[in-house]
Amino acid sequence: MNPDALLAELDDDQRRAVTCAPSATIVHAGAGSGKTRVLTHRIAWRIAQGTADPSRVLAITFTREAASEMRRRLRSLGVTRHDRADDTDQPTIGTFHSVALALLRRRAADTSAQLPSVVGNRTSLLDQALGENKLGRRSGAVLAEIDWAHARMVSPERYEAEASRAQRKPAIALEQIAVAYRAYEKIKQQRGVVDLDDLISLATRAINDRVDFAAATRFRFRHFFVDEAQDMNPLQFSFLEALRGNRSDVFIVGDPMQAIYGWNGADPALFASLPDVFGQPTVLSLPNNYRCTPQVLEVATHVASGATLNVRSRRASGVPVEYVEVDDEYEEIDVVRRLAEQHVRVGFDPSFAVLARTNVQLEPIERSLTNCGVPVASRRASAMRTNAIDEVAECRTRHDLTVWAADVIVESTDGDERIVAEQVQAFMRSSSTGVVDGRSAAVFLRASTASPEQYGVELLTFHGAKGREFSHVVIVGAERGLMPHSSAATPEQLDEESRLAYVACTRAADHLTVVRARRRKGRLTTASPYFVSLPDAVERRGATATPTERPRRTAPPHPLVLAERDLRRRLNDVRDGIARTNFTMPEAILSDEEISRIVKDRPRTLEALATILGPLTANRLGAAILRETHESTE
């Protein structure tokens, strides 16, 4: 790895984070600032400088998808050779659950002990624990509360008091949940099975209780990197602290404004406490937003007005944000449908998404779009299914498959991943004899019928959209009761709702439309406080209004002038897209002068393009640029 090449396309703040001294470091990384890019470049830089041994690196994130993306990026930087996270000469990259499982597997091998089995069907086990008092459809709500209690390290005996203190409002009485929680923990103990969170608890206890195991673990892992640290819950934090053992070689990246999982046990206060925990760490920030136009970011920061934000857009000025008021939810659907139909007419690139606070809001929108012939996307289906099957193939034993499937069903919000997990469980139930491992399961899955890939409008909840990016985002339900949600009662919960609205707004790269219904389900609504007193630049209109048209020329421009304008626009779009992907300034990709020369000369070959950009840049950007110049001459 060339250290200079690692820094070549980083901005000053990113470069400062990547190259700072190898001691405790906390990076506040705003939305669209390139946090994963910084974290992976930091790992590569440390290894290139010889201040980190790749086999001693441990990078932890919160989802398997994020871990896979981190490995892919490190591979592109020359750090890892392939996706196997357990190679001893490579960095270890995984989720809290997968790291805990790997440690427990090693512990079991060293002591000839047997690994506990992970629960495959938690609902069935809960029903068995409760006997005749089964909860039916309410089992999911009880398991969600048990997960919250596990994440907060709350025992069944303390659950009722702690849940009451946190003002939890599940669909079932707290005392009933406490009874179910005790019964569930008892049957797990009787059958010698564990939950996924139990893996973290067991690994933490093994490190804290066994000096020899702690020494071996801390010898193996010496350089710690944590992504999305704002999402840590107390259980995960205790595991990280057990692994770290008061050592200072830790690099933490997070964004307090994207802490949106308090309902699931995460504690944003943990990230805020890190400076005290680490003792005078280096604290840096990544304030540059390469995703959102200034107009989108202005509204997003307005939504988060209760927070102190130091963020700035590095994009060129874009179109105004639209705030649309409609009579009711039916007119809201009509607005979404009209916008979606416009999007479909121009194709599916740039991307388009409709975001809502709850899934219930999205269901009638999906029906309306489908009935009108507007395709609803399942465009990630093929990729997500393929990635999931690849992960299955890496599982070496039946136990690994059980853990993987349970992990997906508990953690994933992607329907295709969950289908694969359910198929894995079905495969294991039907394969009581013979070899049952990842390879055999993958063969079974690849032979199964996959749903066809479908491009179109994406419909997502605010939570489901986290980590995603779209050119045009429509947010529906901008009313009190939905934004913030009526379930938010405490100041902490209301703060999280504000952050959730900020996350939803910052999913939009180029164009943001916010829709508010004056009536919903026959009742008058109040506008969401997040969208009151909006910046003057926001375009407010009713459902049937259209943006003010600019005066038309008496004579249209010459076709050649129009063609040059169109090519320039498309080249700017290419430049902006590459810049967003690389979290750098558009001018660092292509200068305005270079775009002007490309528009004038219309190069049709890589050699011709190289005379304008030079051979290295032409090789790197040639395919994207030549596609546009070819189209402009056809």
pLDDT score, position 549: 38
pLDDT, mean of residues 271-296: 94
pLDDT score, position 44: 95
**pLDDT band at 84, cuts 50/70/90?**
very low
Tokens encoding 528: 């969401």
pLDDT score, position 523: 94
pLDDT score, position 81: 55
Instruction: Provide the sign of the torsion angle of the four alpha carbons 165, 166, 172, 177, taken in this order.
Output: negative
For 225-234, what is each residue's pLDDT tens digit?
999 999 999 9
Per DSSP bridges, beta strands 519-520 and 523-524 are antiparallel
Give CA 623 to chain center in angstroms.
Answer: 29
pLDDT score, position 548: 37
- Residue 482 is given by DSSP the state B
Helix 381-394 and helix 415-430, axial crossing angle in degrees, nearest 10? 40
**pLDDT band at 69, cuts 50/70/90?**
confident
pLDDT score, position 9: 84
**pLDDT band at 361, cuts 50/70/90?**
very high
Between residues 586 and 383, the one the model is more confident about = 586
Task: Write phi, then psi, for 343 (nearest 5 degrees).
Answer: -65, -45
Residue type, position 338, single letter: R
CA angle 380, 386, 392 (to 5 degrees): 130
Strands of the sheet with 223-226, listed across from one edge: 92-95, 57-61, 223-226, 250-254, 25-29, 282-286
- When mean pLDDT is compared over 259-268, 385-394, 472-481, 565-574, the highest value belongs to 472-481
**pLDDT band at 281, cuts 50/70/90?**
very high
pLDDT score, position 575: 82
pLDDT score, position 85: 42
**pLDDT band at 551, cuts 50/70/90?**
very low
* pLDDT for residue 550 is more than 50: no
Cis omega before residue 320 (within 30°)?
Answer: no
* pLDDT for residue 273 is more than 90: yes
Closest by CA to 482, choosing from 358, 305, 336, 323, is: 358
Q: What is the DSSP annotation of 56-68?
A: GEEEEESSHHHHH
pLDDT, mean of residues 298-311: 84
Lowest-pLDDT range of 267-271, 348-352, 373-377, 444-448: 444-448
Contacts of 74 (CB under 8 A, 6+ apart): 40, 43, 44, 80, 91, 93
Q: What percent of the chain has pLDDT over 70?
A: 88
* pLDDT for residue 634 is more than 90: no
pLDDT score, position 398: 78
Contacts of 143 (CB under 8 A, 6+ apart): 122, 123, 126
pLDDT score, position 450: 47
The whole-chain average pLDDT of the chain stands at 86
3-state secondary structure of 324: strand
Between residues 260 and 343, the one the model is more confident about = 260
pLDDT score, position 547: 41
For 137-189, what is each residue's pLDDT tens digit?
788 889 999 999 999 999 999 999 999 999 998 888 999 999 999 999 999 99
**pLDDT band at 239, cuts 50/70/90?**
very high
pLDDT, mean of residues 448-456: 56
pLDDT score, position 379: 44
Contacts of 284 (CB under 8 A, 6+ apart): 13, 16, 17, 20, 25, 26, 27, 28
pLDDT score, position 414: 66
* pLDDT for residue 43 is more than 50: yes
> Is-contact 309 30, C-beta < 8 A?
yes
Lowest-pLDDT range of 264-278, 344-358, 576-590: 576-590
**pLDDT band at 219, cuts 50/70/90?**
very high
* pLDDT for residue 11 is more than 80: yes
**pLDDT band at 545, cuts 50/70/90?**
very low
Question: What's the N-to-C CA distance of the chain in angstroms?
Answer: 42
| pTM (predicted TM-score) | 0.78
Between residues 139 and 276, the one the model is more confident about = 276
Q: What percent of the chain has pLDDT over 90?
A: 52
Q: How far are the Cα atoms of 91, 316, 361, 557, 568 from residue 562, in angstroms, in the given order?
A: 52, 22, 42, 7, 10
Per DSSP bridges, beta strands 288-289 and 282-286 are unpaired
Between residues 627 and 463, the one the model is more confident about = 463
pLDDT score, position 83: 43
pLDDT score, position 560: 66
Neighbours of 422 (CB within 10 A): 13
How many Å is the maximal CA-CA distance in the chain?
87
